[in-house]
Amino acid sequence: PALDPGPHPTLSVWPRHPSPPSRNPFQVVVLSPDAAEPLLDLDSERHVYVIGGIVDRTHRKGLTLKFAEARQVKCRRLPIAEHAEQLGLGKGTRKCPVLNIDDVVKTLIIYQDTREFPRSATSISRLWL
């Protein structure tokens, strides 16, 4: 165990200047395959995207979604079902696979450059689709 040095003896003599509460200019968006709404666009000026915020050895359905809901944070999924036909999955599929974190990151990086989801999703291993 780490040694606990306790409170610093001179800490109480330093003047305190509390700053006013700040408003974070960014809105957090958690990505989860269980989200009801798809991620339709990236806005890196206003949003911070959380990918793989809860990592476990196995997928536990709904865990990340519940985490986001409990904190009143937006939760989105990649729009795989919306582009199923273009991705070769068959028309009307509702497939929302659980992807590797690196596949999600690659997809978002390519999407940021191309603004075309089906094209950016080519980085996703066919094993997952």
Tens digit of pLDDT for each residue in 73-119? 999 999 888 887 787 777 666 666 777 888 888 889 999 999 988 88
Q: What is the pTM of this model?
A: 0.69
Within a domain: residue 1? no
Element (H, E) at 28: strand 27-31
Rounded Cα distance, 75 and 43, in Å: 14
Q: Is the pLDDT score of 127 beyond 60? A: no
Is residue 30 within 8 A of residue 67, CB to CB? The reply is: yes
Q: Is 83 part of a structural domain of the chain?
A: yes
pLDDT value of position 1: 46
Degrees (nearest 5) of the Cα angle 54, 57, 60?
60
Confidence of residue 6 (pLDDT cuts 50, 70, 90): low
The residues, any chain, with a CB within 8 Å of residue 116's CB and separated by 6 or more, are none
The reply to whether 71 falls in a domain is yes
Q: Which domain holds residue 71?
A: 25-123
Whether 20 is covered by a domain: the verdict is: no
37 band by pLDDT with thresholds 50, 70 and 90: very high
Q: Judge whether residue 38 has pLDDT over 90.
A: yes
**Per DSSP, what are the bridge partners of residue 74?**
29
CATH number at 50 reads 3.40.1280.30
| Mean of pLDDT values over 24-31 | 83
Q: How far does the chain reach from its first CA to its final CA, in angstroms? A: 46
- Total domain count, the chain: 1
CA angle in degrees (0–180, nearest 5) for 21-24-30: 135
Does 4 reside within a domain? no
Residue 17 falls within a domain, yes or no? no
What gap in Å lies between CA 38 and CA 32, rounded to an integer?
A: 10
Highest mean pLDDT pick, 16-20, 22-26, 122-126: 16-20
Has residue 70 been placed in a domain? yes
18 within domain boundaries? no
